[in-house]
Amino acid sequence: MVLLENDSFLTELTRLFQKCRTSGSVVITLKKYDGRTKPAPRKGHSETFEPADNKCLIRASEGKKKISTVISTKEVIKFQMAYSNLLRAHMDGLKKKDKKSKSKKTKAT
Amino acid sequence: MPYYQTWEEFARAAEKLYLTDPMKVRVVLKYRHCDGNLCIKVTDNAVCLQYKTDQAQDVKKIEKLHGKLMRLMVSKETHSGSMETD
């Protein structure tokens, strides 16, 4: 797992999407992150670690390649704009809008 | 765990699950270009919610929810009122 800066994460993510065009899939995981780098101590041990509650961790993987990045409050707006554009641009292998699809979908269980 | 049939139900359940324990929940997005499908999963290792689609129009919705949860994760107050608006 490679921890990248926000910008280089996006470029790498683009590469992952290009890689999966022929086969395989891209998996993106989003999780709240408190900045912890060591495991939580067992009971009875004092903890000096103070969790921060304004970060989130994004991991992406395609096959064997794995990348990750940490996003904090300051960067979220900028990152999210670029990120959502990237997702929308690359998730283009789905079926185009079909008015009948809605009724079909509810039937197929 | 079964897939949700409607997006609205899924989105509501996903937000609710996230707010119960933000530290535990992860959101997983899986995209397969060759099969043309997209799957979103929200889980806290006890409850697992899933939604799968092959429709291009759902990308926008899924990406929107993804972004919404991302913003919630970085916002300082875990129980923000923004979820109650809709």
Does some domain include residue B78?
no
Does some domain include residue B45?
yes
Does some domain include residue B17?
yes
Four-CA torsion A70, A84, B53, B80, nearest 10 degrees: 60
B61 near A CB under 8 A:
no
Return d(Cα B38, Cα B29) in angstroms, integer.
7
Mean pLDDT calculated for residue range A71-80: 89
Q: What are phi and psi of B44, to 5 degrees?
A: -120, 25
Does some domain include residue B46?
yes
pLDDT in tens, A35-46: 888 888 888 777
Nearest to B59 among A56, A58, A88 (CB): A88
B43 near A CB under 8 A:
no
By C-alpha distance, the chain B residue nearest A29 is B28
Instruction: Supply the range of the domain harboring residue B50.
Output: 7-71
Residues 6+ apart with CB under 8 A from A82: A10
**Topology (CATH level 3) of domain A1-35+51-86:** 3.30.720
Per-residue pLDDT of chain B (86 residues; tens, 9 = 90+): 688 999 999 999 999 999 998 889 999 999 998 888 899 999 999 999 999 998 888 888 898 899 889 888 888 654 444 444 44
Identity of the amino acid at B79 = H
Find residues 8-47 of chain A whose CB sits inside 8 Å of chain B.
17, 20-34
Does some domain include residue B14?
yes
The CATH number covering residue B47 comes to 3.30.720.10
Give the total number of structural domains in chain B.
Answer: 1
Return d(Cα B65, Cα B58) in angstroms, integer.
11
| Residue ranges covered by each domain of chain A | 1-35+51-86
ipTM of predicted complex:
0.82
By C-alpha distance, the chain A residue nearest B55 is A95
Task: Report the residue of B25, B27, B31 to disrupt the A interface, i.e. the one with the largest count of A CBs within 10 Å.
Answer: B31
pLDDT in tens, A7-55: 999 999 999 998 888 888 899 999 998 888 888 888 877 777 777 778 8
Predicted structure pTM score: 0.80
Distances A90 to A15, B6, B13, B54 between C-alpha atoms, Å: 10, 24, 27, 14
